[in-house]
């Protein structure tokens, strides 16, 4: 589904990804874990073309998309649920979803599917997204990411800033989303990431330092502990 091969990405002169490799297979959930600032979010941005790599290759569904514009990559079926949600605060919930469903043959039907999955959103359909709670905004961001008929969903820090009881709702939403969508998940909450994902990549200083199945892996695991503690 997604392959990053020897990717080097910069912000100005800051060398963030330093030859990162990863691959994501169909129908799996892959977690990217690691300390703050090691390049997890940049990996997602690089995959989607928002911060293109200076070197290396990004392949999506077998196609080299390294030099494509973000909208061209997104149109090929890659969705994004960004850090901090980034809902369109002055648009209503329905309008937020309609932007995402712009390419659908029947946008209203797609919105209906989103409401079936997230019934709470239908109640707030005419409310401005900026007036929603953090958890509701996260639901909206996930629904928006799923509406584009995406085969791959990049989810960045979905539990950030949410109360624990809301996080469990978000986890359920992500499980529902993963039923028919491959997912790459960046998550600071290690236990949550391991619960949700099938495999993990541990990132440090812009490269993958460990990878494997999530089964039985805890933050006390010697393989990961030294990379997760400051």
Partner 1 sequence: MSATALSLGVADPAPLLATGGAVDGLRTAIGVLVEGLGKAAVYFTIAVGLTLVFGLMGVLNFAHGAVTMVGAYLGGLVLVLVVGSGTGTLATIGVFFAAMAIVFAVTTAAGSVIELKLIRPIYDRTPTYQILLTFGVSLIIEEIARIVLTLRGIQPDPQWQAPMGTTPDVLLGRTDFLGIAVRRLYLFEVLIGGVVLVAVWLFLTRTLYGLYIRAGSEDTEMVQALGIDVRRAFTVVFGVGTGLAAVGGVLLMWDPIWGPSVLLSVDVLLYAFVVVIIGGLGSFRGTVVAAGIVGIADSVTTWLFTTGAVTFSGLSEVTIFLLLVGMLIVRPQGLYGVEEVGGH
Q: Which chain residues interact with partner 1 by CB under 8 A?
A: 48, 50, 69-71, 74-75, 80, 82, 86, 88-91, 95-96, 98-100, 102-103, 144, 148
From the list 47, 135, 141, the residue with the least C-alpha distance to 93 is 141
Q: Which is nearer to partner 1, 80 or 124 (CB)?
A: 80
Q: Which is nearer to partner 1, 95 or 210 (CB)?
A: 95
To partner 1, the closest distance from the beta carbon of 199 in angstroms equals 24
| H-run or E-run covering 222 | helix 222-228
- Give the CA radius of gyration of the chain: 17
To partner 1, the closest distance from the beta carbon of 80 in angstroms equals 5
Q: d(Cα 195, Cα 173) in Å, to the nearest integer?
A: 14
Tell me the C-alpha to C-alpha distance, in Å, between residue 220 and each of 31, 57, 226.
17, 34, 9
To partner 1, the closest distance from the beta carbon of 70 in angstroms equals 4
From the list 147, 154, 174, the residue with the least C-alpha distance to 162 is 174
To partner 1, the closest distance from the beta carbon of 123 in angstroms equals 22
From the list 133, 51, 150, 30, the residue with the least C-alpha distance to 85 is 133
Q: Which is nearer to partner 1, 60 or 80 (CB)?
A: 80
Q: Is the dihedral of CA 106, 49, 146, 135 positive or negative?
A: negative
To partner 1, the closest distance from the beta carbon of 88 in angstroms equals 5
Q: Which is nearer to partner 1, 148 or 206 (CB)?
A: 148
Q: d(Cα 40, Cα 43) in Å, to the nearest integer?
A: 5
Q: Which is nearer to partner 1, 158 or 199 (CB)?
A: 158
């Amino acid at each position: 589904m997604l392959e990053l091969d020897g990717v080097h990405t910069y912000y100005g002169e800051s060398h963030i990804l330093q030859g990162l490799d990863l691959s994501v297979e169909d129908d799996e959930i892959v977690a990217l874990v690691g300390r703050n600032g090691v390049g997890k979010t940049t990996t997602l941005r690089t995959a989607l073309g928002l911060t293109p790599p200076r070197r290396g290759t990004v392949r999506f569904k077998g196609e080299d998309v390294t030099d494509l514009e973000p909208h061209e990559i997104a149109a090929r079926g890659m969705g994004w649920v960004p850090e901090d949600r980034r809902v369109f605060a002055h648009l209503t919930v329905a309008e937020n979803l309609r932007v995402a469903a712009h390419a659908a043959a029947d946008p209203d039907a797609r919105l209906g599917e989103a409401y079936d999955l997230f019934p709470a959103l239908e109640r707030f359909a005419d409310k401005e997204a900026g007036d929603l709670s953090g958890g509701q905004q996260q639901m909206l961001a996930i629904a928006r990411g799923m509406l584009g008929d995406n085969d791959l969903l990049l989810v960045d820090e979905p539990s950030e800033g949410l109360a624990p009881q809301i996080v469990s709702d978000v986890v359920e939403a992500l499980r529902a989303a993963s039923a028919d969508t491959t997912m790459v998940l960046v998550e600071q909450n290690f236990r949550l990431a391991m619960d949700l994902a099938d495999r993990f990549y541990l990132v440090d200083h812009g490269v993958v330092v460990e990878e494997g199945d999530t089964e039985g892996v805890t933050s006390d695991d010697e393989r990961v502990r030294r990379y997760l503690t400051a």
